[in-house]
Structure 1
Amino acid sequence: MRSASLQTGRRIAVSLEPGDDLIGSIADACTRYRISQGVIVTLSGAFRDVELIAAQSPSADPEPPLPDSVHIPYTEGIGSGTVTSDADGDLVVHVHLAVGRKDAGARGFAGHVLTAEAHYVVEIVIDEVLQPRMVRTPSEQTWGLPTLDFSETTEATA
C-alpha cells in the first residue's frame, strides 16, 4: 500500500455538453485552469456511448487485467479518478465508471474508461492536488499497469 496526505488547492466544476468527450474535456478543463494533477472527486451523468476495459462474459482467469473492452450505448452512471502528468508534462486522465444501460433494465458495467461521449447531463468535480507529486508507475505486481504513486513526502508504504 502507498498513501500520502494530499494538500489540495482549487476545486473546479465541469459541465459537459452533448457530444463532448469525457477524457478530453477533463484534460481541457485542467489545462484551462493550469491544474497539472488532481482528484476527480465525482462525476455523474448520461453517456451516449462508453467504452470500458471490461468483459461481456466471465473470464477464464480473473487474476490478470482484462484484455478486452466493451462498448455500452446509452447509459447513466457515476465515477471518479485522478489527473496526473506524464514525463513530458502531458495530462493523464484516469477514470473508472459504473454505468447502467438504460434500455436493458439498468444492466450494470464497471471499469476503466477508454472513451465516453456525453449524452446530455454530465457533471464533474475536480480537486487540484498541490502536494505531493502524483505519478503513475508500472509494476510487475500489477501486470505492468501503471498505478498511482507519490513522490516527495510519501508518508507510508506497506
Structure 2
Amino acid sequence: MRSRELTLGRTFAVVFDHGEDFMTALSEFCAANDVRQGYVPGFLGAYSSADLVATCEAPADPVAPVWTRLQVEYVEAIGCATLAWDPDAGRVVPHVHLATGVKRYAAAGHTSHLLGATVQFVNELLVFEVVAPQLRRPPRPDLYDIPVLTLED
C-alpha cells in the first residue's frame, strides 16, 4: 500500500454535450485549463455508445488483463477517474471506470474500464486538480505492463 497527502488546486464543474466524444472532451478540458493531474470523484450521464474492457470468453491467462472491447449502446452511466500526467507524451492520461445500465435490456449492467464513449444528451462531472504529489502512471513490467499510478515528489 502506498499513500500520500494530496495538495489540491482548483475544482471544476464540467458538462460534456450531446454527441461529444467523452475521452476527447476530457483531454480538451484538461489542455484548455492546464490540468495535468487530478481526480474525478464521480460523473453521471448517458451514452449512445460506450466501449468497455470485457470479454465473453474465458481468457487463456485468468490473471492477465483483458484488452478486448465490449460495446454497449444507449446506456445510463456513473463513473469515476484519476488523471495522471505523461511527461513523454505531454498529455494527461485518464484512468476511467464506468458502470452502465443498458436501457433496452431492463438496465442490465456492465462495469469496467472505459475505453471510449459518445455522450447522449449530457454528461456532468466534477474535476479536482491535484497540485502535489506528481501523479504518474508508468507501465509495470511485473504486472503485464499495466500502467499503475505512482505518487512522486
What range is the shorter-chain TM-score in?
over 0.9
Q: C-alpha root-mean-square deviation of aligned residues, in Å? A: 1.4
- After TM superposition, the structure 1 = structure 2 runs for residues 133-144 of structure 1, keeping only pairs within 5 Å, are 133-144=134-145
The answer for the alignment partner of 2:133 in structure 1 is 132
The answer for the alignment partner of 1:25 in structure 2 is 25
TM-score normalised by L of structure 2: 0.92
* Deviation for aligned residue 1:87: 2.2
- After TM superposition, the structure 1 = structure 2 runs for residues 2-151 of structure 1, keeping only pairs within 5 Å, are 2-59=2-59, 61-88=61-88, 89-151=90-152
CA separation in 2, counterparts of 1:59 and 1:98?
22
* Deviation for aligned residue 1:148: 0.5
The residue type equivalent to 1:113 in the other structure is L
Kindly provide the CA deviation profile for residues 103-156 of structure 1, in whole angstroms up to 9, marking residues without a partner as x: 11111111111111000121011000000000002113422110101111xxxx
The change in CA–CA distance for 1:113 and 1:75 in structure 2 (over 3 A counts) is same
The answer for the alignment partner of 1:156 in structure 2 is none
Give SS of 1:80's match: strand
CA separation in 1, counterparts of 2:100 and 2:42?
14
Give SS of 1:55's match: coil
CA separation in 2, counterparts of 1:67 and 1:121?
27
CA separation in 2, counterparts of 1:8 and 1:110?
28
TM-score normalised by L of structure 1: 0.90
Give SS of 1:67's match: coil
CA separation in 2, counterparts of 1:79 and 1:24?
16
CA separation in 2, counterparts of 1:83 and 1:24?
14
Percentage identity across aligned positions? 34
The change in CA–CA distance for 1:94 and 1:48 in structure 2 (over 3 A counts) is same
Kindly provide the CA deviation profile for residues 36-85 of structure 1, in whole angstroms up to 9, marking residues without a partner as x: 11101211110000001112355464311113110000101111111112
The residue type equivalent to 2:128 in the other structure is D
Range 14-23 or range 55-64, more displaced: 55-64
Gaps in structure 1 of 5+ consecutive residues: 153-158
